Structure 1
Amino acid sequence: MIGIIVECAEHSDLPPKQLKSALAILDDTPVLDTPQLYLARWAASYYAFPEGEALSQALPALLRKGEEADFAHATLWRATANAALEQLSGTAVRQRELLDLLLRNPEGVSTDLLRVESIPVNLLKTLQDKGLAESFIHRPSPVHAEDRESSDLLREAPLTLNTEQQAALQQINSQPGFCTWLLEGVTGSGKTEVYLQAIQQTLTQGRQALVLVPEIGLTPQTLARFKSRFQVPVVALHSGLNDRQRLDAWLLARQGSARILIGTRSAIFTPMRHPGLIIVDEEHDLSFKQQDGFRYSARDLAVLRARQEAIPLLLGSATPSLESLHNAQAGRYRHLRLTQRAGGARPPAFELLDIRGETLSCGLSASLLTRMQQHLRQGTQVLVFLNRRGFSPSLICHQCGAVNECTRCDARMTLHRSPPHMHCHHCDRQTPIPKRCHQCGSDDLRPSGAGTERTEDFLQDHFPDTPVLRIDRDSTARKDAMKHLMEQIHTGKPCIMIGTQMLAKGHHFPKVTLVAVLDADSGLFSADFRGMEKTAQLILQVAGRAGRADHPGEVVMQTRHPDHPMLNALIRESYSAFANSELQLRHAAGLPPFTSHALIRAEATHQGRAEAFLRDIRETMEAQLNPPPGSHWSGPFPSPMEKRAGLYRAQLLIQSRQRSELHQLLRHILHFLTQHKGRNQVRWSIDVDPLDSY
């Protein structure tokens, strides 16, 4: 067991036989600095998660396995202090060649370099025996922030800011110490340029900047953008790195060598020797909230960390979360707005395309196909948005109507054609495509509905002379696949992109002039009270890919509800108008951000067991405690998808007007959960400030 010492005591209430001696102290100095330790312990308390596990997750995987908190050691070779070529005879040609190489490289030579130079590695032992060569352990030396002059920071000149960008940057730079800024800028308004110039100011002060992005897919392009602007060490921190790369990046950040850190949500726990600025890009994105295990919100922890470090925090989005907008309206955040697109680009024109009574081909209407053809003839690009992976959402028997369903989930299996298989996107179960119906034995099985694969095939047949690029989790699973697709798009040649929400986040496609949303109605009638907010954000984010450069753009949204008030508010007014209206509805209904929620989840192998466990929790708590005024219980009730991955799930919702009262109640509940006699028959968890569907 690898443990973390957080404090020492002279005495213990436990009997001596229950105490175990430490076998070894792994590190001479603390691996967690004071701000990190505080952040992890606070998060464990707030999110009702075991403190030891929270501290563990704040460390790179190699440290959790007991490795030394140091860079990988490399064994290099160098010439000894008194070595000279004259000490070797003229006939020892290869030995003289090797010694000459060592003398010319006093910092050390690796065996890999010798192989490149075609020099036999065994000659090193020969020179060592003659006292002419020696090996040594090389460790990277720290390069501190103050070692660079401010004039050496930039590789390329900053872009000229417009009036709104300049005003926002001046306000950010003029406020020393802790302050949370909400930068709300329409898509294409140049938020990234404001980030870059704010970071430049941070670097000139000898400090480091941490940039959080929602997904790994955005990390390479963000990394490339920052490296092209700054000639300082920029490192990435995300789950796509191997354990060694992750530890090395973590160490570079801790010692101050890495001046700019770019990572996904777990990077919020990365130490910085000279913290100066934290940026959370696309702050509204659900990816910043961990959905299992340690269910923390990196965006919310960024606020706490910035306050502890006494540094500014910049939250950026074209469609801010209602929580952040509420904090801005309440004065807790400073609100900055960018209403104009950078470079004079015009906002796209929106159109609701009524498809009631239309005959659709793989989800596309004839009028939309005609519109796509017009844009391609103009030499521009088209983006088609469909948030469904696979070939078809279901496989149905044409004789009896039976649907191929997952045996482990209350969900249909999705048909994939590349490679051919059935796939449950909830539990990851995969099976061969059935040849006959499991109920009636008929071989007349037909795909129903269209996913990105099927739409890709149709578009390729309909536009045979135009490349069709599919961008979803399946097509980008291979290493560098996303990079190659982006390179093809950025050539500017006409093409059609078909993809899921991966296309909606942060990408800059200057040649895209038409964005087609095939199903604008998905999410309009969700049981989740956040459904409207999520739908509006997704539509506006993907719509923002159109018309970002010199070419005007348009957004066509196919809908069977062209009179829906939310859709019309989005295209005729603004996101701010929609958000204010939604906030008023939330306030009237007593929903977040005006109340605080926590969800107790339970799952068990037998149906009804999880629900009975939560019912007992509620009844016991209500009998033993007087809930604070304004607190309310809902449930227990089965989860929206009751069966998932072979387990039956239930949940109990607790809401309160005061956050402190909710946490006081959770402390009592947590104690009872850990003592409950049925705790070994269910798996339970607590989700504070839940974001996913109830």
Structure 2
Amino acid sequence: MTHWLAVAVPTPAHSGLGEPLTYRAGAPLAPGSIVRVPLGAREVLGVVWAEAPAPAPELERQVRPLAGIFEGLAPLGEDWRQLIAFTARYYQRALGEVALAALPPQLRTLSGVQLARRLKRRSAAAPEAALDTIKSEALSADQASAVARIDQEAGPFLLFGVTGSGKSEVYMRAAARVLAADASAQVLVLVPEINLTPQLLARFATRFGDAAVVALHSGLTPAQRLAAWLSAHSGHARIVLGTRVAVLASLPRLRLIVVDEEHDPSYKQQEGARYSARDLAVYRGKLCGAKVVLGSATPSLESWHASSPAPEGPGRYTRLAMPRRIGVAVGADPQAGLPRVRRVDMSRQPKGTLIAPPLLAAIGERVARGEQTLLLLNRRGWAPVLHCADCGWKSECPHCSAYRVFHKIDRTLRCHHCGFAQRVPRACPGCGNLDIGTLGRGTEQLEERLGELLAEARRPDGAPARIARIDADSTRGKGQLEASLAEVHAGEVDVLVGTQMIAKGHDFRRVTLVAAVNPDGALFSSDFRAPERLFALLMQSAGRAGRDAAQSAASEMWVQTHHPQHPLFVALKGHDYSGFAAEQLAERTQAGLPPFTHLALLRADARDQQAAQDFLNALAAQARAVLGEDAALSPALAQIGWFPAVPLPVQRVAGIERAQMLLESPSRAALQRVLAACQPLLHTLRASTAHRGIVRWAVDVDPLAM
């Protein structure tokens, strides 16, 4: 007997085949079964979504049979399929594209026989998971209150705790209670960056046992990622710790989801299905009845607003406050354990000053005491631009509308957008001038200049100061990041220079001084989220100082700025996130910006900027004409604001011109209905002769980068 199955397959993003395709099988298969199917001339991985209606008799012979079945692998659960369907629908992507992207890449290359062998080996070698093998430390009053409320209330929860307040211990206690209450329960812990995974993984593994905890992120080898996914899917892994990709992992007995540093923009995927792992975590918790804990010292304004009780906010989340660092008694000033923030007015310093003399003296004092300093400069390379003062030539990238960054270490000009690199020219390519200069400063230059400025500084043992740099360039090789962090933790580094990589989540016990060298650029950005990101970065950076209670009184955060009285720096000095958030939300209310309105970006890439803009403007015109005549869609269309197409801030990357069009609406439902109705219009427009120059288009719902 023939059975017809609807199978989700990885159809091309612009093919228009968003629905599952029909295949035939000789026996019924449960929804969620993983299979191999023919697709064109290829054989691909697929997921059985449901039974399909029988095709018309004249079409039956055209329906192709399954190519293989992964027997021995339990079907993907109903909760998982609902999550994938919602993700595809909300973020305007094909169902199969999202479903297959959520599966480990190596699974796509294996046959059913090969997978069966691996499952057999894993079953024979898998140890029993041991839980709660190490006794945990006593909780502070704030921690105990948070753990009790997570245990007793439904949530979702926003754990608003200052840096050093012990949020990680709250996560582990909440996980321990969930696992103890249900012998088969699973916990998902999300972190924003791969480089934060090893240290948090080690803490969870120490507490719950190596066999109970697995990591899941894109930095793993294909074999490691498949092994971790299989462990989670089978339920053997009790705790899965990973980056945003882990939110779509198969966890059939999920009971708790933790999103650490929930404010971090890394949770938003910027390619393909542009989903927000933080938002999907909240939705997934509702689907499977799991509790959700979002944690941050600087919550996103969306989460902060959602946790504000009426009338200030909708009160969808339960806010749990942890205002004191570990070791600060209840009733004491909450700022007692936080670093003192000092602002340096750079307009009063000599022109060209890189490190203000008072800050340099403070760094020298730390070196002499055996303490550590972090210097934050969120720009890698030696200098962002190489230029000629005679003819005005600058190191522009020939493929991007951006400058190539000067890297002195290997004497290259390198584009950080497309990767194009060339050796530094001996003379100006424009006029032949031999005296080519630099504009701006990067971490390489800061590292070298510090070596000169601290040449006389001595450690307690009389040795010279040791300076290290951590950024995307210095940690490119395998194991380099781990080795660099190990040196810092071991006290072998006195001054650490780096980008935002050093500001997130690290527990450096010897750091007593953190300094932001040049944070002013984000104050006047055209992106309305820039102040929020800068404040979070500086607060998180300050949180690296004084984490050891014995040194907290001497900890400081220095900010070198030309605008010391800017409200952002005033709020930072008082560690006043609540005041900063209230001011930002008031501005967004007046401007009609998120979280008080909902946004989507339509993007188009083409060889010509005008072609990209024409494509988007034609879509807007056609949508108004076609959807406006539809009685069911016209009310939703009336709630949408369309802005003209414009170039992206970096409008050309790798020779491709990029344009975008902003849509806004006070109604999320109306925006979703219009975006869904625009999908066939986009396919039709791209296929037309008038828009053949379009390379690709994309829909970005709830965009973070604008």
Secondary structure of the structure 2 residue equivalent to 1:222: helix
Q: Which residue of the partner structure matches residue 97 of structure 1? A: none
Q: Which residue of the partner structure matches residue 583 of structure 2? A: 581
Whole-angstrom CA distance in 2 between matches of 1:13 and 1:680 = 35
The letter for the 1-side match of 2:376 is F
Q: 1:13 deviation in Å?
A: 6.4
Q: Which residue of the partner structure matches residue 123 of structure 2? A: 140
Q: 1:378 deviation in Å?
A: 2.0
Secondary structure of the structure 1 residue equivalent to 2:522: coil
Where in structure 2 are the equivalents of 1:232-311 lying within 5 Å? 232-311=211-290
Q: 1:407 to 1:10 in 2, by over 3 A?
A: same
Whole-angstrom CA distance in 2 between matches of 1:416 and 1:586 = 39
Q: Which residue of the partner structure matches residue 228 of structure 1? A: 206
Secondary structure of the structure 2 residue equivalent to 1:438: coil
Listed as ranges, the gaps of 5+ residues in structure 1 are 76-136
Q: Which residue of the partner structure matches residue 80 of structure 1? A: none
Q: 1:24 to 1:625 in 2, by over 3 A?
A: closer
Q: 1:405 deviation in Å?
A: 0.5
Query: Which digits, 9 at most, give the CA deviation of each residue in 1:52-92, with x for residues without a partner?
Result: 111111111122335449768479xxxxxxxxxxxxxxxxx
Q: Which residue of the partner structure matches residue 218 of structure 1? A: 196
Secondary structure of the structure 2 residue equivalent to 1:359: coil
Whole-angstrom CA distance in 2 between matches of 1:496 and 1:139 = 45
The letter for the 2-side match of 1:386 is L
Match status 1:690 vs 2:699? no
Q: 1:565 to 1:492 in 2, by over 3 A?
A: same
Query: Which digits, 9 at most, give the CA deviation of each residue in 1:204-255, with x for residues without a partner?
Result: 1221111100011001111111112222421110111111111111111111
Q: Which residue of the partner structure matches residue 501 of structure 1? A: 500
**Which of the numbers 194, 203, 208 marks the counterpart of 2:170?**
194
Q: Which residue of the partner structure matches residue 6 of structure 2? A: none
Secondary structure of the structure 1 residue equivalent to 2:189: strand
Q: 1:195 deviation in Å?
A: 0.7
Secondary structure of the structure 2 residue equivalent to 1:522: helix
| Same amino acid, percent of matched pairs | 40
Q: 1:492 deviation in Å?
A: 3.1
Q: Which residue of the partner structure matches residue 454 of structure 1? A: 445
Whole-angstrom CA distance in 1 between matches of 2:591 and 2:452 = 49
Whole-angstrom CA distance in 2 between matches of 1:63 and 1:493 = 42
Q: Which residue of the partner structure matches residue 634 of structure 1? A: 643
**Which of the numbers 328, 333, 342 marks the counterpart of 1:351?**
342
Contact 2:612 2:658 in 1 (8 A): yes
Whole-angstrom CA distance in 2 between matches of 1:228 and 1:70 = 33
Q: 1:45 deviation in Å?
A: 0.4
TM-score (norm 1): 0.87
Higher-Rg structure is 1
Where in structure 2 are the equivalents of 1:93-172 lying within 5 Å? 138-141=121-124, 153-172=131-150
Whole-angstrom CA distance in 1 between matches of 2:395 and 2:527 = 26
TM-score (norm 2): 0.85
Secondary structure of the structure 2 residue equivalent to 1:661: helix
Q: 1:523 deviation in Å?
A: 0.6
Match status 1:208 vs 2:186? yes
The letter for the 2-side match of 1:681 is G
Q: Which residue of the partner structure matches residue 674 of structure 1? A: 683
Match status 1:374 vs 2:341? no
Deviates more, 1:455-464 or 1:466-475: 455-464
Q: 1:420 to 1:15 in 2, by over 3 A?
A: farther
Contact 2:339 2:545 in 1 (8 A): yes
Q: 1:284 deviation in Å?
A: 0.5
**Which of the numbers 381, 395, 417 marks the counterpart of 2:408?**
417
Listed as ranges, the gaps of 5+ residues in structure 2 are 1-42, 309-313, 329-335, 456-463, 629-633
Where in structure 2 are the equivalents of 1:569-608 lying within 5 Å? 569-572=571-574, 574-608=576-610
Kindly tell me the number of residue pairs found equivalent between the two proteins: 625
Q: 1:26 deviation in Å?
A: 2.2
**Which of the numbers 55, 72, 85 marks the counterpart of 1:12?**
55
Q: 1:69 to 1:393 in 2, by over 3 A?
A: farther
Deviates more, 1:679-688 or 1:314-323: 679-688
Deviates more, 1:616-625 or 1:533-542: 616-625
Whole-angstrom CA distance in 2 between matches of 1:585 and 1:630 = 22
Q: 1:36 deviation in Å?
A: 1.3
**Which of the numbers 428, 435, 438 marks the counterpart of 1:437?**
428
The letter for the 1-side match of 2:275 is Y
**Which of the numbers 636, 657, 665 marks the counterpart of 1:656?**
665
Q: Which residue of the partner structure matches residue 95 of structure 1? A: none
The letter for the 2-side match of 1:476 is T
Whole-angstrom CA distance in 2 between matches of 1:538 and 1:74 = 44
Whole-angstrom CA distance in 1 between matches of 2:199 and 2:440 = 33
Q: 1:37 to 1:14 in 2, by over 3 A?
A: farther
Deviates more, 1:338-347 or 1:183-192: 338-347
Query: Which digits, 9 at most, give the CA deviation of each residue in 1:113-144, with x for residues without a partner?
Result: xxxxxxxxxxxxxxxxxxxxxxxx74424869
Query: Which digits, 9 at most, give the CA deviation of each residue in 1:542-568, with x for residues without a partner?
Result: 111111112131011000011212211
The letter for the 1-side match of 2:84 is A
Match status 1:467 vs 2:511? no
Query: Which digits, 9 at most, give the CA deviation of each residue in 1:316-362, with x for residues without a partner?
Result: 00000011111111121110011000123710101110010423667
Whole-angstrom CA distance in 1 between matches of 2:353 and 2:374 = 16
**Which of the numbers 167, 182, 185 marks the counterpart of 2:161?**
185
Q: Which residue of the partner structure matches residue 323 of structure 2? A: 339
Whole-angstrom CA distance in 2 between matches of 1:68 and 1:291 = 33
Q: Which residue of the partner structure matches residue 15 of structure 2? A: none
Q: 1:399 deviation in Å?
A: 2.2
Query: Which digits, 9 at most, give the CA deviation of each residue in 1:291-336, with x for residues without a partner?
Result: 0111011111101111111010110000000111111111211100
Whole-angstrom CA distance in 1 between matches of 2:254 and 2:282 = 14
Whole-angstrom CA distance in 2 between matches of 1:477 and 1:72 = 36
Whole-angstrom CA distance in 1 between matches of 2:61 and 2:90 = 29
Q: Which residue of the partner structure matches residue 394 of structure 1? A: 385
Contact 2:507 2:544 in 1 (8 A): yes
Q: Which residue of the partner structure matches residue 128 of structure 1? A: none
Contact 2:612 2:657 in 1 (8 A): yes
**Which of the numbers 278, 298, 316 marks the counterpart of 2:295?**
316
Q: 1:623 to 1:274 in 2, by over 3 A?
A: closer
Q: Which residue of the partner structure matches residue 543 of structure 1? A: 542
Contact 2:487 2:493 in 1 (8 A): no
Q: 1:259 deviation in Å?
A: 1.3
Q: 1:17 deviation in Å?
A: 8.3
Contact 2:77 2:252 in 1 (8 A): no
Q: 1:571 deviation in Å?
A: 1.4
Q: 1:261 to 1:571 in 2, by over 3 A?
A: same
Q: 1:570 deviation in Å?
A: 2.3
Secondary structure of the structure 1 residue equivalent to 2:68: coil
Q: 1:651 to 1:511 in 2, by over 3 A?
A: same
The letter for the 1-side match of 2:503 is A
Secondary structure of the structure 2 residue equivalent to 1:55: helix
The letter for the 2-side match of 1:513 is T
**Which of the numbers 14, 26, 31 marks the counterpart of 2:69?**
26
Q: 1:421 deviation in Å?
A: 1.3
Q: 1:12 deviation in Å?
A: 3.0
Whole-angstrom CA distance in 2 between matches of 1:615 and 1:385 = 42
Secondary structure of the structure 2 residue equivalent to 1:384: strand
Q: Which residue of the partner structure matches residue 559 of structure 2? A: 557
Query: Which digits, 9 at most, give the CA deviation of each residue in 1:445-469, with x for residues without a partner?
Result: 1222211111111112222411111
Q: Which residue of the partner structure matches residue 484 of structure 2? A: 485
Secondary structure of the structure 2 residue equivalent to 1:675: helix
Secondary structure of the structure 1 residue equivalent to 2:49: coil
Deviates more, 1:155-164 or 1:236-245: 155-164
Contact 2:608 2:693 in 1 (8 A): no
Secondary structure of the structure 1 residue equivalent to 2:344: strand
Q: 1:412 deviation in Å?
A: 0.7
Where in structure 2 are the equivalents of 1:64-75 lying within 5 Å? 64-68=108-112, 73=117
Q: 1:360 to 1:219 in 2, by over 3 A?
A: farther
